[in-house]
Structures are given as C-alpha cells and as structure tokens.
Amino acid sequence: AAEVAGQSLTDFILDSACQAAEQTLLDRRLYMVSESQYQALLDMLERPAQANDRLRDLFARKPPWDVE
C-alpha cells in the first residue's frame, strides 16, 4: 500500500496512524474540559458575530453541487 501511495513505508505508517488518531478524536461524542475552558467556550458563543469578508464571499458563491 505504501508503494501504491508513493510513500516510504515509514511515511505511510505515520500518515495512517495520524489519520486513525484524527478519526478517533473526531468520532468522540463527549469531550471533558475544565470549568474555565467550558466558560471560555460559552463566552465565545455569546459574543456577537463579526463581519468576515472571506466568509461573506464564500456564501455569495454558487456551490459546486448546484449545477443547472
């Protein structure tokens, strides 16, 4: 598989391990945080949204799957 991917065996194993670790963390449903971390998250969520030109431009574009 490493050869097919054009990688050394070491690079392939490291990439595979990183992908598996990332997927494992993304699949978690419950994250344990301290009270201060939780409060910081709540504070961020309570702040009003700020104008973001890049995000505005993104939403102004037609999505690639919306083909007519």
Residue with tokens 């070491």: 10
Highest mean pLDDT among 22-31, 32-41, 58-67: 32-41
State yes or no: pLDDT of 18 exceeds 80. yes
**Cα Rg, the chain, nearest whole Å:** 20
DSSP 3-state of 40: helix
Model pLDDT for residues 44-59, shown as the tens digit of each residue = 999 998 889 999 999 9
Please tell me the predicted confidence (pLDDT) of residue 12: 97
Q: State the average pLDDT for the chain.
A: 93
